[in-house]
Amino acid sequence: MPAETTAPMETPGRGTSASALRAREVLADVAHEPGAKKPDPIVVADHITRSFGGLTAVDVEHVEVQRGVITALIGPNGAGKTTFFNLLTGFDRPDSGDWSFNGTSLNKVPAYKVARMGMVRTFQLTKVLSKLTVIENMRVGATGQKGETLLGAMFKPMWHRQETDNTKRADSLLERFLLIKKREDFAGELSGGQRKLLEMARALMADPELVMLDEPMAGVNPALKQSLLGHVKSLRDDGRTVLFVEHDMDMVRDISDWVIVMAQGKIIAEGPPESVMGDQRVIDAYLGAHHDEALTFEAEEKIHAEASSEFQGGRAVSAAPRASTGTTERTGSTATTSEHAAASEPASTRTDDHEDGPR
Amino acid sequence: MDWQNIFSLALQQGLGPSAVVYCLAAIGLNVHFGYTGLLNFGQAGFMAIGGYAMAAVVSTWGLPFWLGIVVGLLLAVVLALLLGVPTLRLRADYLAIVTIAAAEIIRQTVGSVSLLEYFGGQDGLTGFSDSFRSLNPFSGSIGIPGVVSWRANDAWVMLVGWILVVICCLIVWLLMRSPWGRVLKSIREDEDAVRSLGKNVYSYKMQSLIIGGIFGALAGFITALKSAAINPSFFATDITFFAYTVLLVGGAARVLGPVAGAIIFWFLLSFLDLFFTQAAATGLIPESIMTSNQASLMRFIFMGLALMLLMIFRPQGIFGDRKELALDAR
């Protein structure tokens, strides 16, 4: 186990490890379009919608997640990524839709049963159990514990052996995630990055087939980021599937085998990172088209004309500004359509940095 | 000023039947609040259910005493289910509101005129403790001569009560060192995290509510037995808050916290009462400042002050770990 820790970290880029090559090979024939069919999907979702009042947060027609690869779910702020995550893992109920894990429908299955099936998630705002020690945090993660039933709990001989085994496994995971020195510390004393590591390690205690990471890099310092990247890649080497939400484009480019892009609740593009990054729809939705081009006099005139015509039209037309190149961002802000302002936010803008945030 | 008398009587209260009642109630709250983070403000309700079930089974329906105990425990479980089913899926504050209301509903119901023939209205019930007292091995006065003594009936209630306390503490200790207890503590920290690890949070919270409720019912039995009578005023809302005080003094989420808390709470409360009453009577505090009637109420003022100082200088209670508490501030 510890040997795996360093191996993926040494290889630059998406890596040339056996699992990375295999992942690329498997995905070679998959079409680069939203809702593409995968050869061996672990999660399949159909017609998932979820709205909060008038706002449709998620409206996913069809999506599949390939087994054994690292899939990234990206998109601008407010695209519905975390909501979609919550829906898949049973932490929220969709208004309609059907989704399955390993062929078993997850409709109306409570979150804890989803986790037991082998689909374990982490949270955007890390949820460590502050007043428990690191090792106790890890032990909670183990599934099928005999000592967790009321009657079994009273008699130590019933669960003592299992507890020892779990502790051994926890220790080796802590070693792999470089937390072994913190073993007896309260989880509440860890730094933001260490909490992310602990959460990931704890998720592995359940031995999940699919690990779902919600913004694993949020609020993590650059040095620790590299080691986290290595850890995520090592999950694939273990034969696990990884689905993660991320804002950090470098990380997405670095480790993902496949990228799904969401914007305004819909899936707008899919493909390997290189092809997705070059996709015009993604650039328009995520980065804002040509956002660093110099503003010429003619272009500025055009923006003003468009903006005033929008105002005179009574209400903003949502599709128009995005189609016109070079104007998205500025039209967005001048025409005060907040929707566009959000969509065109540059990738570098980090909304949340919870190094020392609320637990 | 008779210091020896004051200490002797305060010690009598500190170890007496009242301390047992609050100790058992606080052990229940410790499971709810200390370990699981459930805000149960209706422990008096569980006590009333237990006490009244036992009393009514024996004196109203004339059935055996042990059956009264069984019915009392069963009804406590039923009450926990009734309170838990609608509220445990919701946010923590809902349970607090529902439990405080439920405790008051129970008290008003057993004291109501329309149920007078079953529960005796505001006068309550008596004459149910004969079979309990007939088992009393003590006679005369029991205690250490010259230091402290109890009447035989009190001594018998105390013996049974403290044995119950030991058993309850043992159960809590066994449960809380196990993986089951670890899940409860995890739920207190973060429900969603526990859910994401495949634990049925709702079921664990329900189990915790039931176990704590049963300890509450035991406190109710002792309440009824210690005075051989029961009436609605024994289960007023302030009982719950005194039990919380006991828990906080001793230290929440510690097995022996409620025990130490109950003894200290009752010792101090009666010590202050006796001190001020005697001080006023002997003229140590002049009549112009306070009368002896007013003096006996000073104990609550000082108890409140002590609680405030405790929260400021030792918020973790006597057995608590300050470091653990400081984690919340981060």
Domain count, chain A: 2
Q: Do residues A298 and A314 both lie within one domain? A: yes
| In a domain? residue A37 | yes
Confidence class for position B24, pLDDT limits 50, 70, 90: very high
Could you tell me the strand order of the sheet in which A41-52 lies? A55-66, A41-52, A96-101, A104-105
Minimal-distance CA residue of chain B relative to A202:
B197
- Which of A131, A190, A355 is the best residue to mutate to test the B interface, defined by the most B CB atoms within 10 Å of its own CB? A131
Q: Are residues A339 and A240 in the same domain?
A: no
- Would you tell me which residues 198-227 of chain A have a C-beta closer than 8 angstroms to some C-beta of chain B? 202-203, 205-206
**H or E stretch including A222?**
helix A222-237
Among chain A residues, the shortest Cα distance to B208 is held by A150
All residues at 6 or more sequence positions from B132 whose CB lies less than 8 Å from its CB, including other chains: B65, B156, B225
Asked if residue B162 has pLDDT above 80, the reply is yes
Q: How many whole angstroms separate alpha carbon B181 and alpha carbon B174?
A: 9
pTM, full prediction? 0.84
The verdict on A239 and A305 lying in the same domain is no
pLDDT score of A293: 58
Residues of chain A with pLDDT under 70: 1-16, 286-295, 313-359
Q: Determine the distance in angstroms separating the CA of A272 from the nearest CA of chain B, rounded to an integer.
A: 29
Residue A359 lies in a domain: no
- DSSP line for B162-183: HHHHHHHHHHHHHHHTSHHHHH
Residue contact B197–A147, C-beta within 8 A: no
**Percentage helix, strand, coil, to 5, in chain A?**
45, 20, 35
Task: Kindly report the CATH number assigned to the domain that includes residue A61.
Answer: 3.40.50.300
| Residues A154 and A180 occupy one common structural domain | yes
Q: Is A330 left (phi over 0), alpha (psi -120 to 50) or beta?
A: alpha
Say whether both A253 and A141 belong to one domain: yes
Residue type, A224: L
Res. B206: pLDDT tops 80:
yes
* A328 and A240 in a common domain: no
A28 domain residue, yes or no: yes
**pLDDT per position as a tens digit, A295-305:** 677 777 877 88
Q: Highest-confidence range of A219-233, B55-69, B303-317, by mean pLDDT?
A: B55-69
Q: What span, in angstroms and rounded, lies between the C-alpha atoms of B70 and B93?
A: 31
- Amino acid occupying residue A219: G
- Please name the helix (run of DSSP H) or strand (run of DSSP E) that holds residue A49, with its range, or none: strand A41-52
Helical (H) or strand (E) element with A267: strand A266-271
Q: Which of residues 196-225 of B touch A (CB under 8 A)?
A: 196-201, 207
Instruction: Please answer yes or no on whether B327 and A122 come within 8 Å at the CB atom.
Output: no
- A132: nearest CB among B174, B179, B186: B186
Q: Are residues A156 and A27 in the same domain?
A: yes
A140 to B182: CB separation less than 8 angstroms, yes or no: yes
**How far is A175 from A167, CA to CA, in rounded Å?**
12
Rounded percentage of chain B residues whose pLDDT exceeds 70: 99
- Look at the alpha carbons of B277, B283, B286, B288 in this order and tell me if their dihedral is positive or negative: positive
* A183 and A310 part of one domain: no
Report the distance separating Cα B294 and Cα B151, nearest Å. Answer: 29
Is the same domain home to A155 and A126? yes
Looking at the domain assignment, is residue A251 inside a domain?
yes
Q: Are A237 and A322 contained in the same domain?
A: no
First-last CA distance in chain B: 49
- Give the tens place of pLDDT for each residue, B231-250: 999 999 999 999 999 999 99
pLDDT of residue B330: 44
Same domain, A45 and A170: yes
R_g (Cα) of chain A, nearest Å? 22
- Please state, in angstroms and as integers, the Cα–Cα distance from residue A125 to each residue in A52, A188, B171, following that order: 21, 13, 36
Do residues A135 and A119 make contact, with C-beta atoms less than 8 angstroms apart? Answer: no
Tokens found for residue A14: 């998406």
B289 pLDDT above the threshold of 80: yes
Which residues of chain B does A148 touch, with a Cβ-Cβ cutoff of 8 Å? 178-180, 183, 199
Residue A326 lies in a domain: yes
Please determine, for residue B56, whether its predicted confidence score (pLDDT) is greater than 90. Answer: yes
Residue A245 located in a structural domain:
yes
Chain A within 8 Å of B183 (Cβ-Cβ)?
yes
> What is the average pLDDT across B187-199?
93
Which of B180, B196, B200, B203 is the best mutation test for A, with the most CBs of A within 10 A?
B196
Q: Mean pLDDT in chain B?
A: 92
CA dist., res. A149 & res. A166, Å (int): 16
Contact residues, chain B, for A359 at CB < 8 Å:
190, 330
Question: Which chain B residues have a beta carbon less than 8 Å from that of A159?
Answer: 178-179
* pLDDT at residue A36, rounded to an integer: 85
What gap in Å lies between CA B257 and CA B244, rounded to an integer?
11
Determine contact: B173 vs chain A, CB below 8 A. no
As to burial, measured by CB atoms within 10 angstroms (0-12 exposed, 13-18 middle, 19+ buried), residue A264 is buried
Chain B nearest-CA distance from A112, in A, is 4
Domains along chain B with CATH numbers: 3-139+148-324 (1.10.3470)
Report the distance separating Cα B30 and Cα B36, nearest Å. 8
A349 in a structural domain: no
State whether B180 and A139 contact (CB < 8 Å): no
| Domain boundaries, position A280 | 2-284
How many residue contacts between A and B have a Cβ separation below 8 Å? 112
Q: Which of B20, B13, B22, B2 is CA-nearest to residue B243?
A: B22
Mean pLDDT of B241-270: 93
With CA atoms as reference, report the closest residue to A57 among A29, A34, A36, A81. Answer: A81
Do B195 and A115 lie within an 8 Å CB cutoff? yes
pLDDT of residue A289: 53
Binning pLDDT at 50, 70 and 90, where does residue B271 land? very high
Report the pLDDT value the prediction gives residue A292, as an integer from 0 to 100: 54
Identify whether A356 is part of a domain.
no
Residues on chain B touching A357 (C-beta within 8 angstroms): none
Q: How far is the C-alpha of A206 from the C-alpha of A120, rounded, in Å? A: 8
Element containing residue A42 per DSSP (H, E): strand A41-52
Q: SS3 of A101, please? A: strand
- The answer to whether the beta carbons of residues B45 and B103 sit under 8 Å apart is yes
Q: In angstroms, rounded to a whole number, what is the distance separating the alpha carbons of residues B41 and B33?
A: 10
A281 burial (CB, 10 Å; 0-12 / 13-18 / 19+) is middle
Rounded to the nearest angstrom, the minimum Cα separation between A239 and chain B is 20
pLDDT of residue A345: 42
- Least confidently predicted of A144-153, A322-331, B127-136, B300-309: A322-331
CB A281 within 8 A of CB A289: no
Contact call for A112 and B198, based on CB within 8 A? yes
Question: Is A143 part of the contact surface with chain B (CB cutoff 8 Å)?
Answer: yes
The tokens describing B102, both together, are 């439920």
Same domain, A89 and A207: yes
Q: What is the arithmetic mean of pLDDT over B35-42?
A: 94
Which residue carries 């209630």 as its tokens?
B157
Mean pLDDT of B49-55: 96
